[in-house]
Amino acid sequence: MISIDRLQPLLAAALPLALLACAKPPADQPTLDDLDRELTSNNQGDPVLTSAARRQIMIDPALDQSSNARSVRPPNRPDPGAVPPDDIAATPDGVDPSTLRTAPAAGDCPDCAPAAGALTLGELARRQKNRRIADCSARLRYSATWAAQLSGEVPLYPDARVTEAAGATGCGLRVVSFASAAPVDRIVDWYYTKTSRVGFAAEHQRQDRRHILGGTRGDAAYMLYVAPRPGGGSAVDLVTNTGVDSGA
């Protein structure tokens, strides 16, 4: 029989061996080093996997903008409706010249210089001699929808392609820039015909190739600025206080 005193040293020596035996993985369980060596050797032996691992990552250019889709970035092309095309003169304006009255002969143009120096529609309205228009110019707001709120007395030309518009509620002020296929004289005659039929007295002025037709009827007034476009047709600015308010 082994005494307790002799057994204690044997137990102390056997305990570390038992712990090592518990920590050692079974013979059939691979270690991390074994797995790493196996994956490395397999990839080196398989030419397809090796080629794929070494190949440069490719990005589909058709999809590279789909991520972060809500980010703000400039458009990839200009707004097609921002500027009328240069071939506008090739499109008929739909106006029969035989139905038009001829505007009064053009006189000197004291209003041409102030209008030529106006860089914005608001500034053009502010420079008007008609005080009701000039005083209302501070309330102008820009939107293409104002062009649809011109009255039938001083309307848009039939083929007008609006480039900019502004307006103000409560005073009927509308300022619209547009292009037309029609020549300058036809546009002047068309507006003279329209406005004279509803009682506007008109005055026609000219400086070089720029024409101004202005009309008044009591407190109502309009000014029309017309010049030829380089690509054909005419460029027009229309200022009037006869607009129809619709809550815009």
Question: DSSP letter string over 206-221?
Answer: EETTEEEEEEEETTEE
Res 92: pLDDT: 80
pLDDT at 161 over 80: yes
Looking from the CA of 154 toward its CB, the CA atoms found within 13 Å total 30
Structure tokens at 127: 């420079």
Res 169: pLDDT: 87
Stronger pLDDT, 4 or 97, i.e. the higher one: 97
Question: 120 in a domain, yes or no?
Answer: yes
Residue found under tokens 């039939």: 158
pLDDT at 37 over 80: no
Any idea of the CA torsion for 192, 168, 143, 232, to the nearest 10 degrees?
Answer: 20
Q: Above pLDDT 70, what percent of the chain?
A: 59
Task: Report the DSSP beta bridge partners of residue 236.
Answer: 178, 226
Least confident window among 60-69, 135-144, 189-198: 60-69
Question: 223 in a domain, yes or no?
Answer: yes
**pLDDT tens digits, 217-235:** 998 999 999 999 998 999 9
Res 81: pLDDT: 46
Question: 236 in a domain, yes or no?
Answer: yes
Question: 132 in a domain, yes or no?
Answer: yes
Residue 215's domain is classified under what CATH number? 3.30.310
Stronger pLDDT, 10 or 240, i.e. the higher one: 240
Mean pLDDT across the stretch 38-51? 58
Mean pLDDT across the stretch 19-25? 51
Residue found under tokens 């409706």: 81
- Residue 175's domain comprises 104-240
Question: 20 in a domain, yes or no?
Answer: no
Nearest alpha carbon to residue 196 among 100, 92, 72, 107: 100
pLDDT at 95 over 60: yes
At residue 184, what is the residue type? Answer: V
Query: Number of folded domains in the chain?
Result: 1
Question: 75 in a domain, yes or no?
Answer: no
Res 41: pLDDT: 62
pLDDT at 30 over 80: no
Res 5: pLDDT: 58
Stronger pLDDT, 134 or 183, i.e. the higher one: 183
Q: How many CB atoms lie within 10 A of CB 193?
A: 15
Stronger pLDDT, 235 or 63, i.e. the higher one: 235
Stronger pLDDT, 176 or 66, i.e. the higher one: 176
State the pLDDT confidence band at 80, using cuts at 50, 70 and 90: very low
State the pLDDT confidence band at 204, using cuts at 50, 70 and 90: very high
Question: 93 in a domain, yes or no?
Answer: no
Res 128: pLDDT: 81
Question: 37 in a domain, yes or no?
Answer: no
